[in-house]
Amino acid sequence: NYEGSLTISADLAELVELQEYERILVGNLSNGERFETYAIYGVRNQGVIQLNGAAAHLGKTGDRLTIMSFGAYDSEEATTHQPKIIVLDEKNRVLEKRI
């Protein structure tokens, strides 16, 4: 009866300052699904990105995902905010950092 979530290796989450239990929007590039859930940390340096609970029905191993989080900023913060983006390979190793 697990509600859902997305497990992400703690080291990957920390690279982009994604907090554990933070609400995320997931886009599945392989099947077109888009859904909200929350992030939980997985074992560091294992490259784990795994859909859990109900969210697991919206993707399968090997699907390409875009994981997004959002913030609320005042007008001054919005002008200086820099998004943090990482691009991973098929084994969830970092290919590119835009941080």
Residues belonging to the active site: 5, 38
Alpha-carbon torsion angle 19, 24, 29, 33, nearest 10: 150
* Rounded alpha-carbon distances, angstroms, from residue 68 to 1, 3, 37, 62, 91: 25, 19, 10, 18, 19
